Amino acid sequence: MVLRIFFTTPRRLDIYINNNYIPPLNDHVDASGKHVLKKPTTPTEYRPTISDPTGANFFDRDNQMLHVTIKGNTPIDMYTAPVVVISFGIPPVTPNEFFNSAGLVTRLALFLGVDPSKVRIVDIVRVGSVSGRRKRSTQSSTVSVEVGDPPSTVQTTPAPVTIAPALPPGSTTTTPQPGTTTPSPGAAAIQLLQEFTAKIVNALQTGSLGSQLNTTILSLNVVDPLPPPVTTWTNTANQTTTEPTTNTYSPPDKIQVKQEANAVHTQTPFPIQPKIEAVDAAGNTLSQVGHPTDPWLVTVSVKNKPADVILGGVRSVPFVAGVATFSGLSLNKPGTYELIFQVTYPTTANRFTTTGRAFSIIEKPIPVVPPPDNNKTTLIAIIVGSVVGVLVIIIVGIMVWKGLCSSTSKSAKISCEVGDAGKAPPKYTEKMNLNEYVTGPSTTAKTYEDDSVNHPHSTQDIEKSTQTDHRSHTPDSMPPPY
């Protein structure tokens, strides 16, 4: 059978049988001993068939498909090699230009400081050649190279993935158990590959890569190495797969202010913090400035800064997705300022600089404590005062009333009585001593009697009172004149 496996990104897949390396069908060793992967001239060229021996393989880079022939019961180990895949867009070239002493591969190896055997051509797309189902007619060539250790002829450690064929029906042969994973190449190896990538990217974006490789670089695509593999099949089944991404890099033409700083008061972070972007010659923002593991840094400073002025906050920030965003910037003195932004890492890119728009800042005002709410206080005072005033009036009235009821005079004595509930209010009558006209004035007692007789203001009332008084006094007593 022929097994085909799809991969989302280009990579190098090494096939081993019994720990022996099986090179792909398009592998070619040139006169200098370098391994070259030939480009197929037809869609099916180099694809293994059922008639090929077990382990025959080919990786179709246009479709990112691995083809492997499987026969018998022999396990096949597939190993994903830790490499960096770099695709250069350059003017049209021929394959021979890459393998002489002055070729691109040799110069790239010298630039990275590695043995030329660690750099090999994996794909070349020239003007008018076919890539997949489409014909490219651009006036350039795309050359893809791998940077990493070459395949080992003998695999001394178990491979990470084992492809075991199914047993024939009725077979009693024990199926080989999956091999354990190959130990990780180590953090040092992955870090070294990332350093190679960062060095190439920085050289491209600072403009020195073309001179280092002695050719014009039109574009650069990089597929980073895969992270170290897991160590057990259980972890393989449970892990979340992280595929390497393909990043496109272009040289920046300049950096410019994307968002101007806006300040108000001293000793306070700017309400609007500045942002810096890198753009190409067409004014498009670059998606990548430096490699993600080694981004460029932008540093801010104050133009013509006085000695007593202090710029606070984070003053050096990296580019993320092509934009450097500052935070927490503030100034301690009022005045009018301009900010200068400069790439400070890598040092070979310090020619990229720009200046922001001038802005003014004033002294931070002293906080003022707001006065209490006088309206609410006044309303409460009015209500309390009114209630107290009413109570005082009531108490004074009661005291005055009691004083009048208990007072005496020479002419009359007043007494106050309270009638029973439900009775008519008492009325006032006057009893006079008729002897006062004979013997002199006497005290007239004024009392309240609880009867229905009106006050003696009419003549009949006087006469009635006189008759009553005659019965209660001596016969020679005279009635009072009215």
Give the single-character DSSP code of 348.
Answer: G
pLDDT category of residue 93 using cuts at 50, 70 and 90: low
In this prediction, residue 444 carries a pLDDT of: 47
Average pLDDT, the chain: 75
Distance (Å, whole) CA 445 – CA 394: 30
In this prediction, residue 430 carries a pLDDT of: 47
Give the single-character DSSP code of 178.
Answer: P
Distance (Å, whole) CA 385 – CA 369: 29
Does 451 score more than 80 pLDDT?
A: no
Residue with tokens 């007072």: 407
Pick the more confident residue, 242 or 434: 242
In this prediction, residue 25 carries a pLDDT of: 92
In this prediction, residue 387 carries a pLDDT of: 76
Range list of β-strands (E), 63-118: 65-69, 76-80, 84-90
Average pLDDT on 283-293 reads 92
pTM (2 decimals)?
Answer: 0.61
Could you tell me the two tokens for 342? 């400069």
- Which amino acid does the sequence have at 426? P
Contacting residues for 178 by C-beta, under 8 A, at least 6 apart: 161, 162, 164, 233
In this prediction, residue 175 carries a pLDDT of: 44
Could you tell me the two tokens for 124? 């070349």
In this prediction, residue 29 carries a pLDDT of: 77
Pick the more confident residue, 146 or 397: 146
In this prediction, residue 471 carries a pLDDT of: 47
Average pLDDT on 419-446 reads 48
Average pLDDT on 72-83 reads 87
β-partners of residue 447 are: 429
In 337-374, which positions are buried (b, 16+ CB within 10 angstroms) versus exposed (e)?
bebebbbbbbeebeebebebeebebeeeeeeeeeeeee
Could you tell me the two tokens for 400? 């005055």
- Which amino acid does the sequence have at 77? D
Of the chain, the end-to-end C-alpha distance in Å amounts to 154
Could you tell me the two tokens for 404? 């009048």
Max mean pLDDT among 1-15, 197-211, 399-413 falls in 197-211
In this prediction, residue 226 carries a pLDDT of: 73
Does 432 score more than 70 pLDDT?
A: no
Mean pLDDT is lowest, of 83-97, 276-290, 412-426, for 412-426
Our CA dihedral for 150, 156, 160, 163, rounded to 10 degrees, sits at: 100
β-partners of residue 89 are: 142, 219
Contacting residues for 171 by C-beta, under 8 A, at least 6 apart: none
In this prediction, residue 389 carries a pLDDT of: 75
Give the single-character DSSP code of 95.
Answer: G
Average pLDDT on 203-208 reads 92
C-alpha torsion sign, points 386, 388, 390, 396: negative
In this prediction, residue 446 carries a pLDDT of: 46
In this prediction, residue 411 carries a pLDDT of: 46
3-state secondary structure of 200: helix
Residue with tokens 């073309």: 210
Distance (Å, whole) CA 307 – CA 225: 48
In this prediction, residue 339 carries a pLDDT of: 96
In 66-84, which positions are buried (b, 16+ CB within 10 angstroms) versus exposed (e)?
bbbbbeeeebbbbbbbbbb
In this prediction, residue 30 carries a pLDDT of: 72
In this prediction, residue 460 carries a pLDDT of: 52
- Cβ atoms of 269 and 330 within 8 Å: the answer is yes
Distance (Å, whole) CA 248 – CA 142: 13
For the segment 94-144, what is each residue's pLDDT rounded down to a tens digit? 555 555 544 778 888 899 988 888 888 787 776 554 444 444 444 677 888
Could you tell me the two tokens for 38? 């030939």
Contacting residues for 76 by C-beta, under 8 A, at least 6 apart: 15, 16, 17, 54, 55, 68, 70, 162, 163, 164
For the structural domain made of 255-361, what CATH number should be given? 2.60.40.3960
In this prediction, residue 167 carries a pLDDT of: 46
Does 464 score more than 60 pLDDT?
A: no
Max mean pLDDT among 121-125, 268-272, 446-450 falls in 268-272
Q: Dihedrals φ, ψ of 165, to 5°? A: -70, 155
Average pLDDT on 318-339 reads 94
Residue with tokens 């007494």: 415
In this prediction, residue 316 carries a pLDDT of: 96
- Which amino acid does the sequence have at 127? V
Could you tell me the two tokens for 11? 């990579």
Q: How many beta carbons lie within 10 A of that of residue 412, not counting itself?
A: 12
- Which amino acid does the sequence have at 42? T
Pick the more confident residue, 273 or 424: 273
For the segment 340-383, what is each residue's pLDDT rounded down to a tens digit? 999 999 999 999 999 999 999 998 877 766 666 556 666 676 77
For the segment 132-182, what is each residue's pLDDT rounded down to a tens digit? 444 444 467 788 888 888 887 776 554 444 444 444 445 444 444 444 444
For the segment 206-219, what is each residue's pLDDT rounded down to a tens digit? 989 988 888 888 88
pLDDT category of residue 314 using cuts at 50, 70 and 90: very high
Average pLDDT on 21-35 reads 81
In this prediction, residue 122 carries a pLDDT of: 80
In this prediction, residue 40 carries a pLDDT of: 86
Does 422 score more than 50 pLDDT?
A: no
Range list of β-strands (E), 268-397: 275-279, 290-291, 294-295, 297-302, 311-314, 316-318, 323-325, 327-331, 335-337, 339-345, 353-355, 359-361
pLDDT category of residue 91 using cuts at 50, 70 and 90: confident
Q: Dihedrals φ, ψ of 348, to 5°? A: -75, -5
In this prediction, residue 237 carries a pLDDT of: 52
For the segment 229-256, what is each residue's pLDDT rounded down to a tens digit? 555 445 545 555 555 678 889 999 999 9
Pick the more confident residue, 79 or 167: 79
Contacting residues for 297 by C-beta, under 8 A, at least 6 apart: 316, 317, 318, 319, 324, 343, 344, 345
The domains of the chain are located at 2-167+179-230, 255-361, 406-482
Cβ-based burial of 279 (10 A; exposed 0-12, middle 13-18, buried ≥19): middle
